[in-house]
Amino acid sequence: MSLSRRDLLALAATTPALAWLPRAAEARDLGGARPPLPRAPAPDDEAAWEQIAREFLIEGLHLNTGTIGACPIPVLEATITHMRAFERITRQEGVDRVALRRELETFLGAWPGSVAVVRNTTEAMNIVASGIALQPGDEVLTTTHEHIGGRCCWELAAKRHGIVLRTFTPPLDPASEAHLAAAWMEHVTPRTRVLSISHVLFTTGLLQPVEALVRMAREKGIISVIDGAHPPGMLALDLQRLDADYYASSPHKWLLAPKGTGLLVTRPDRLATTWPLIASGEWDVDDPRKFEHVGTGNDSLVAGLRAAVAFQQAIGREAIEARVHFLAARLDAALREIRGVRVVSPRRAPFRTGMVSFTMDGVPAATLQQELGRDRIRTRVIAEGDLGYLRLSTHLYVLPRDLDRVVGRLAALARA
């Protein structure tokens, strides 16, 4: 079912917030026939990536996918179509959750029956922190570079239940995976019960050696909880191979799903011993449904999540990962050429992802953000921990000429 132009005009006339829809239909053929998405384009196939970029409604330059992604038109259409049908009351459309689970398992490389659709990484992390059996004095180890969505759940558990939250500052430009893994292991004690690991640090985009860390944790009888807010949609994943006990994510970021969709992947042998955060229907079953039942929700967002998975599968997960790295490497190299700029993201390619963070001598990150914002360039200031970084994200709707534009603007600011 597609939205006709008459539908769009009616929506825009009655809902000022949707006034952009008819314009989008004219510019991008929303709801009409569009050419098929390029399949597995090479990282530098600019014609293909230009075509893909035309599937978005972005005005200006979006370099903050690390906070929120932009939904492509097919995702918007799926979400709105479901919502319109639902509000007709007698013509509501369901979401095939059985099919969605299979599609998510394939996309993530997850175990059959392991994926719960929740609202975001924060909720998923709180389910784990509240749902596993920890005793007073048990230690949770994490880094000083955690997002509040993955940190505060443990702070709550420490204040309420007497567990001990221990943190350390990881090497941000590690020489090797062994170097970074060893930094973690140096802080493990006989009381350590949980490693809470960001797969990708939100501060610098550092890719951590999660597979090695999970293996080391299991050897010591330690639970592994992965804050995977960023990788789905940015990196091709195989969560069965990773084998973490829990993996939390926000597909509204790099997977480009509607805001308000999240994921929790639970290792099958952990399902029976993990309590749900909210008790509702099926709260006492030994499968992920017990994490999903939280009262009335918005299935239209779930319909959009399913469309987002289909959109990225049509392009190819490996192709998207290669493109993200291609753009990030180009941006990283260009920023290092600007006098007065200090890139704080890793130098070595194996640790790089689609987020590049930096500082500029004499210019606060907030000022840089404001100046770029004048040119409709959206960025993220990493103010947490008084770090003062500016972070730029490179996703599939960003083009090399966009990066050239922002680097040129930054170079001019550095010379001013």
Amino acid at 66: G
**pLDDT at site 34:** 77
**pLDDT at site 55:** 98
**pLDDT at site 254:** 98
**pLDDT at site 27:** 44
**pLDDT at site 350:** 95
**pLDDT at site 93:** 81
Show pLDDT as tens, one digit a residue, over the chain (416 residues): 445 555 555 555 555 445 545 544 444 445 567 789 999 999 999 999 999 999 999 999 999 999 999 999 999 999 999 999 999 998 888 899 999 999 999 999 999 999 999 999 999 999 999 999 999 999 999 999 999 999 999 999 999 999 999 999 999 999 999 999 999 999 999 999 999 999 999 999 999 999 999 999 999 999 999 999 999 999 999 999 999 999 999 999 999 999 999 999 999 999 999 999 999 988 999 999 999 999 999 999 999 999 999 999 999 999 999 999 999 999 999 999 999 999 999 999 999 999 999 999 999 999 999 999 999 999 999 999 999 999 999 999 999 999 999 999 999 999 98
Query: In angstroms, rounded to a whole number, what is the distance separating the alpha carbons of residues 104 and 94?
Result: 18
CB atoms within 10 A of CB 44: 12
Query: In angstroms, rounded to a whole number, what is the distance separating the alpha carbons of residues 254 and 230?
Result: 6
**Long-range CB contacts (within 8 A, 24+) of 378-382:** 378/60, 378/61, 378/62, 378/63, 378/64, 379/63, 379/64, 380/64, 380/66, 380/67, 382/202, 382/203, 382/357
CA torsion 392-394-399-405 (nearest 10°) is 10
And the tokens for 250? 């926000």
**pLDDT at site 26:** 47
HEC string for the chain: CCCCHHHHHHHHHHCHHHCHHHHHHHHHCCCCCCCCCCCCCCCCCHHHHHHHHCCCCCCCEECCCCCCCCCCHHHHHHHHHHHHHHHCCCCCCCCCHHHHHHHHHHHHCCCCCCEEEECCHHHHHHHHHHHCCCCCCCEEEEECCCCHHHHHHHHHHHHHHCCEEEEECCCCCCCCHHHHHHHHHCCCCCCEEEEEEECECCCCCCECCHHHHHHHHHHCCCEEEEECCCCECCECCCHHHHCCCEEEECCCCCCCCCCCCEEEEECHHHHHHCCCCCCCCCCCCCCCHHHHCCCCCCHHHHHHHHHHHHHHHHHCHHHHHHHHHHHHHHHHHHHHCCCCEEECCCCCHHHCCCEEEEEECCECHHHHHHHHHCCCEECEEECHHHCCEEEEECCCCCCHHHHHHHHHHHHHHHHC
Query: In angstroms, rounded to a whole number, what is the distance separating the alpha carbons of residues 123 and 60?
Result: 31
Amino acid at 349: A
pLDDT tens across 227-278, in order? 999 999 999 999 999 999 999 999 999 999 999 999 999 999 999 999 999 9
Query: In angstroms, rounded to a whole number, what is the distance separating the alpha carbons of residues 96 and 42?
Result: 33
What domains, with CATH codes, occur in the chain? 1-33 (no CATH), 97-309 (3.40.640.10), 318-415 (3.90.1150.10)
